[in-house]
Structures are given as C-alpha cells and as structure tokens.
Amino acid sequence: MRIRDILRRKGDTVATVGPDATVRQLLAVLAEHNIGAVVVSPDGTSISGIVSERDVVRRLHDRGAGLLDRPVSDIMTAEVRSCGPGDQVEDLRRTMTEHRFRHVPVVEDGRLTGIVSIGDVVKSAIDELESEREHLVGYIQGAP
Ligand code: AMP
C-alpha cells in the first residue's frame, strides 16, 4: 500500500499555522481539529517546521506559562522529514518507529499535499490484515 492510498481515504486536508502564530493559537488549532500536530507554514504549501503537542508539553515544563505568548517558531522542529504520495506505507512505518515521531507531511512537487499520522498507518495495516483474512477464509471455505 502506498501513501496516496491513505490520502484517498482520509483526504488531503492539512492543518497549518504561520510561524508567527502564538503557542496559544496553536493550542486552539490542535483542540479545534482534535489533532496532535500541525505543519508550520507561511503560505499553506511550503513547510517551515512541524510542531506537536509533545513540543508544547516539554517546553511548558521547561519555560512555564509565558510560553503561551511566544511564536510557534520558538518550539517547532525545523528539520522536517516528509514523504511522497508514491512512497510505501511500510517504509513510512519504519521511519516513524525509528525516529519516534507520529506525523509525517506528504509533499508533491514541493507542495504540501497531506499529512499521515501513526494512527493512519496502523489503520491501513489493520485494513490490509482484515482483507487478507477474508481472502484466506474465502479460499479455505471454497476449497473442495
Ligand atoms: P510527535 O510524535 O509527532 O508528536 O512528535 C514528536 C517530536 O518529533 C516532536 O518534537 C515533533 O516536533 C517532532 N516531529 C514530528 N513529526 C516530525 C517529522 N515529520 N519530521 C521531523 N520531526 C517531527
């Protein structure tokens, strides 16, 4: 299965915030969309960074509540690992496990075209196992 198969099902919407948005505004976006990370982008298509709830929790612990009025660019990860729509989901799963992050933006022709979370990857693995199981059951039941 490829990344584009996941995007076909879940859609290509990506929540973004500008680098100058405050951490407080970021929290509103996370809460509103019920998500764990957003891509930091000045224009909605290029990527300046990624910021997840984990970044907020760690920095809040280090720096206190004053963090809420700081720009997200203060706490984002600027070196973002992305993937392409033609990449194999299995390779992405390995990347996520190895680097310990749960979100990977999808980029095509230099433009942000989606985001895949570890939840999407797990769901695609379960769907694949389920259809394999149905195929095997059909094969066994159909066997003379
Ligand atoms: P997450 O597991 O996605 O909540 O992120 C854990 C840490 O990895 C946070 O510091 C994120 O900013 C960072 N991170 C998340 N996704 C990526 C990514 N695709 N590339 C690089 N860093 C990331």
User: Domain holding 71: CATH number?
Assistant: 3.10.580.10
What integer pLDDT is reported at residue 69 of this predicted model? 97
Mutate to test the pocket of ligand 1, among 54, 87, 98, 117 (most ligand atoms within 8 A of CB): 54
Please, which residues have CB within 8 angstroms of residue 76's CB and are 6 or more apart in sequence? 19, 40, 48, 49, 50, 51, 55
Please tell me the predicted confidence (pLDDT) of residue 142. 85
Query: Which atom, in ligand 1's list, is nearest to the CA of 81?
Result: 20
Q: What is the pTM of this model?
A: 0.91
Domain that holds residue 78: 3-141
Query: Ligand 1 atom closest to Cα of 36?
Result: 4
85 has pLDDT over 90: yes
- Per-residue pLDDT band for 98 (boundaries 50, 70, 90) equals very high
Q: How far is the CA of 112 from the centre of ligand 1 (A)?
A: 16
Number of domains in the chain: 1
